[in-house]
């Protein structure tokens, strides 16, 4: 790729030449794309394998302006420079395919298989989904420092200082990627929702222990100034462009925002932010920055790509991110009301299954349906309902919930509903679920009215289609 001041940004991929000038500013990786200067784009995509999907190739092709002469293409391949493998120290993920649907290897993005989500109220560390935007940083805990500053001054704490000098606080909170259930937003009329194609498993519920952010800010006198609190992580590229996000000061000073160092009673694993991560309960996962090493109190939001030009709901008229005026769209904060069916399920990718064949329990002649629900923003779940006739008739599910203070319902709710054999159709049928929170917020019936090109905040009714085992239906009829 070369940059020409009069012509803009050009790059080479295989035998093509592409002018991406109009795309660079809103590239999902910010200006990471410019790091391929002087090299073929392939060398970058060998590391960031998340790009190796059809819609990325299709998007790139829109910017083709010509082809490389054969001699130049061969010279380009011969003189490719070796790109630093930022991912060479990522943790070993043993048997990951048994636990996750892996959406990309570099960066590693993996969602929990649905049946594992409802196997226990707390999601184990091993089963908790992984959302990485770049590589997993290697941390020497003896050298680790947490910097806390504003525009006037800066202080720092060691890991031991933080753990030993501040009172610990524990909360149970779900963490959910804003793009959870993105794949269900794709439709032939409005187009593909761009980003990692999550099914229903980019969510988990854990017990987090750490230091209240409020206590830390108060100890340094930083609680009386600034409109935003920025968090910056150690996951940086070769130009030290690091992952960053921010939350409003009012949220930062609330009771349960944590600088967490434990997850389910264990030290954080490297994939989940060791040694320190932010937990912002009730808020989209993108604000719960992992591997955090800088906290900045400011009148401005973090200027990272992920705060300013991503994780925003763009108008449905926007079909390509580069068409958007991101400055006019507020950054997402609170999660919305959500629910999904997790059992029956398959070990195969739920995005690809049209009809799921199942056999109910022979003992009690019932089909048991299970899933999760989340209120978002601290709002508790009031009810979860199931329909077998596309919303004409609804049945109440049984709820498993924690007792939580008003407007501090950070944990998810697990739910169960039993369908009697006599109510099971003899042909493929749909089950849909919807949840309602204590403020009366509920889920829309389809994603059509909430579609956005970045595919965030999809909370439409979740549907699965089932085909019941014929032998079971035969026995059920004989018992009637």
Q: How many whole angstroms separate alpha carbon 87 and alpha carbon 126?
A: 20
CA dihedral 51, 105, 46, 353 (to 10 degrees): -50
What's the N-to-C CA distance of the chain in angstroms? 71
Selected catalytic residue, list 199, 311, 372, 417: 311
- Please say if 63 is a catalytic residue: no
Selected catalytic residue, list 44, 51, 372, 434: 51
Selected catalytic residue, list 131, 135, 228, 454: 131
Alpha-carbon distance values, 363 to 211, 367, 420 (Å)? 49, 11, 12
Q: Which residue has the tokens 């630093």?
A: 84
- CB-based contact 321:308 (threshold 8 Å): no
Q: Evaluate the omega torsion of the peptide bond into residue 107 and state whether it is cis, within 30 degrees of 0.
A: yes
Selected catalytic residue, list 27, 73, 149, 155: 27
Q: How many whole angstroms separate alpha carbon 442 and alpha carbon 64?
A: 44
Question: Two tokens at 43?
Answer: 């060398």
Q: How many whole angstroms separate alpha carbon 188 and alpha carbon 39?
A: 36
Measured in degrees and rounded to the nearest 5, phi and psi for residue 163 equal -70, -40
Q: Which residue has the tokens 């080479």?
A: 12
Q: How many whole angstroms separate alpha carbon 153 and alpha carbon 156?
A: 11
- CB-based contact 129:178 (threshold 8 Å): no
- CB-based contact 50:107 (threshold 8 Å): yes
Question: Two tokens at 468?
Answer: 């019941």
- Please say if 236 is a catalytic residue: no
- Provide the 8-state DSSP code for 191: B
Q: How many whole angstroms separate alpha carbon 105 and alpha carbon 476?
A: 46
Measured in degrees and rounded to the nearest 5, phi and psi for residue 18 equal -130, 135
Residue 179 C-beta-side C-alpha neighbours within 13 Å? 23
Q: Which residue has the tokens 């009301």?
A: 337
Question: Two tokens at 245?
Answer: 């996000």
- Please say if 79 is a catalytic residue: no
3-state helix, strand, coil split of the chain in percent (to 5) is 20, 30, 50
Strand order in the sheet with 16-19: 2-4, 8-13, 16-19, 64-67
Q: Which residue has the tokens 């187009």?
A: 191
Angle at 86 between CA 37 and CA 15, to 5 degrees: 35
Selected catalytic residue, list 44, 177, 242, 433: 177
Beta bridge partners of 368: 418
Q: How many whole angstroms separate alpha carbon 37 and alpha carbon 31?
A: 11
- Please say if 177 is a catalytic residue: yes
- Please say if 131 is a catalytic residue: yes
Catalytic residues: 27, 51, 131, 177, 311
């Amino acid at each position: 790729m070369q940059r020409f001041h009069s012509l803009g940004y050009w790059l080479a991929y295989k035998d093509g030449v592409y002018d991406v000038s109009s795309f660079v500013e809103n590239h999902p990786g910010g200006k990471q794309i410019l790091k391929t200067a002087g090299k073929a784009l392939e060398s970058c995509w060998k590391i960031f394998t998340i790009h190796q999907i059809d819609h990325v190739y299709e998007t790139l092709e829109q910017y083709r302006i010509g082809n490389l002469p054969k001699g130049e293409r061969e010279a380009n391949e011969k003189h490719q420079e070796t790109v630093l493998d930022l991912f060479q120290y990522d943790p070993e993920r043993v048997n990951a395919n048994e636990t996750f649907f892996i959406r990309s290897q570099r960066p590693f993005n993996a969602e929990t298989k649905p049946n594992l989500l409802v196997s226990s109220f707390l999601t184990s560390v091993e089963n908790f989904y992984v959302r990485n935007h770049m590589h997993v940083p290697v941390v020497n805990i003896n050298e680790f420092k947490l910097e806390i500053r504003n525009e006037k001054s800066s202080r720092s704490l060691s890991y031991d200082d933080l753990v030993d000098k501040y009172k610990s606080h524990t909360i149970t909170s779900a963490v959910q990627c804003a793009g959870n259930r993105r794949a269900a937003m794709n439709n032939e009329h409005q187009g593909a929702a761009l980003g990692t194609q999550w099914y229903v498993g980019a969510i988990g519920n854990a017990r987090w222990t750490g230091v209240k952010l409020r206590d830390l800010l108060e100890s340094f006198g930083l609680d009386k100034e600034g409109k935003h609190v920025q968090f910056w992580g150690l996951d940086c590229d070769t130009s030290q462009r690091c992952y960053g996000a921010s939350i409003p000061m009012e949220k930062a000073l609330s009771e349960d925002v944590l600088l967490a160092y434990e997850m389910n009673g264990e030290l954080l694993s490297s994939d989940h932010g060791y040694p320190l991560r932010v937990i912002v309960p009730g808020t989209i996962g993108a604000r719960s920055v992992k591997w955090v090493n800088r906290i900045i109190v400011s009148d401005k939001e973090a200027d990272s790509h992920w705060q300013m030009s991503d994780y925003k709901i763009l108008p449905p008229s926007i079909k390509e991110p580069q068409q958007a005026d991101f400055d006019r769209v507020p950054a997402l904060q609170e999660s919305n009301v959500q629910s999904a069916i997790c059992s029956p399920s398959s070990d195969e990718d739920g995005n690809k299954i049209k009809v799921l064949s199942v056999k109910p329990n022979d003992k009690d002649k019932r089909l048991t349906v299970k899933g999760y629900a989340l209120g978002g923003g601290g709002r508790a779940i009031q009810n979860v309902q199931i329909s077998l006739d596309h919303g004409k008739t609804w049945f109440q599910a049984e709820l498993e919930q924690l007792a939580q203070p008003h407007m501090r319902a950070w944990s998810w709710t697990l739910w169960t509903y039993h369908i009697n054999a006599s109510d099971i159709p003899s042909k493929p049928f749909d089950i849909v679920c919807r949840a309602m929170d204590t403020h009366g917020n509920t889920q829309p019936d389809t994603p059509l009215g909430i579609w956005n090109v970045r595919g965030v905040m999809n909370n439409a009714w979740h549907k699965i289609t089932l085909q019941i085992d014929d032998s079971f239906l035969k026995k059920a009829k004989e018992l009637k």
